[in-house]
Amino acid sequence: MILTVTLNTALDITYRTPALRPHASHRVSEVTERPGGKGLAAARTLAALGHEVTVTGFAGGATGRVVRERLTGTPGVVDAFVPVGGATRRTIAVVDGRTGDTTRFDEPGPLITPAEWSAFQEAYADLVPAAAAVALCGSLPPGVPVGAYAGLVRTARAAGVPVLLDTGGEPLRRGVAARPDVIKPNAAELAELTGSHEPLRATQDARRRGARAVVASLGAQGLLAATPEGRWRAAPPARPHGDPADTGDSVVAGLLAGLVEHLPWPDRLARAVALSAATVLSPAAGEFDRAAYGDLLDRIAVTVEANAA
């Protein structure tokens, strides 16, 4: 079982409109809703790859009930959310049908009380020993300590369970110091963490700060990985055209799947990039194009990266 943690769970709502214009009323041509948050998106992809996944975090209010109801029909995903008094947030995405651009509005999330945070920590400690790997994903809702991920990393490490951390800002800085097995920042998060805008130098600096392995998402350029076994770049054969939403979560799913299947790092990176590109190419938000994934997997270029100066 793979355990994904989404502390700031969301109900993702997508509106599609023929054209988005400021200061105007719009007719919506299509509305979709699905459970959201980084850990849930990664969990769906992992389940589609055939892995059993348990999802946890916070869920509350009418929105939280909808999220949990939608998860009930997802094969391979087990709901272990901790209920809270506040309402789970919504994220609103408006897709401009003319340009394909997406405008997002992200609510902050419910205020988590000290008692609710303690209840989650107890539930998490009970779940971790049965996991083959843990993913800690996304932002923190109000009320959760900024060092929360550092404590959750230490719990997983104490149980001997590998842990991947995917967040940014101060939660990432503190989480790295707890020595997670993998972190997956994007270029901006990596630069904020290390102060360096040179990706290879920055990945090596992040390792010195405590991360055992660093896999940086570089957008259309693919992934850059610095690990104890070596350094690699992995890129798709061509830049995919489509919706880039959830591509980072597909990278997390690919890395976790490769980890629990004991694949060598180049194969893990190839899988992660192929899943990311196949997510861009999928006509359905939050899914990956299975045919494209199978085709891309053998065409991902993974090259050894020289040391930074």
Task: List active site positions.
Answer: 249
CA-based R_g, the chain, Å: 19
Backbone angles phi, psi at 294, to 5 degrees: -60, -40
Q: Tell me if 210 sits within 8 A of 176, measured CB to CB.
A: yes
Distances (CA, A) of 132 to 15, 82, 152, 162, 261: 37, 21, 15, 7, 10
Q: At what angle do helices 247-260 and 265-281 cross, to 10 degrees?
A: 150
- State the Cα–Cα distance between residues 302 and 223, nearest whole angstrom: 9
Q: Tell me if 18 sits within 8 A of 97, measured CB to CB.
A: yes
What residues pair up with 202 in beta bridges, in sequence order?
none
Closest CA to 165 of 290, 218, 152: 152
CB environment 141-167: b (16+ within 10 A), e (fewer): bebbeebbbbebbbbbbeeebbbbbbb
Q: Which helix (H) or strand (E) holds 183?
A: strand 182-183
How many Å from the N-terminal Cα to the C-terminal Cα in the chain?
A: 41
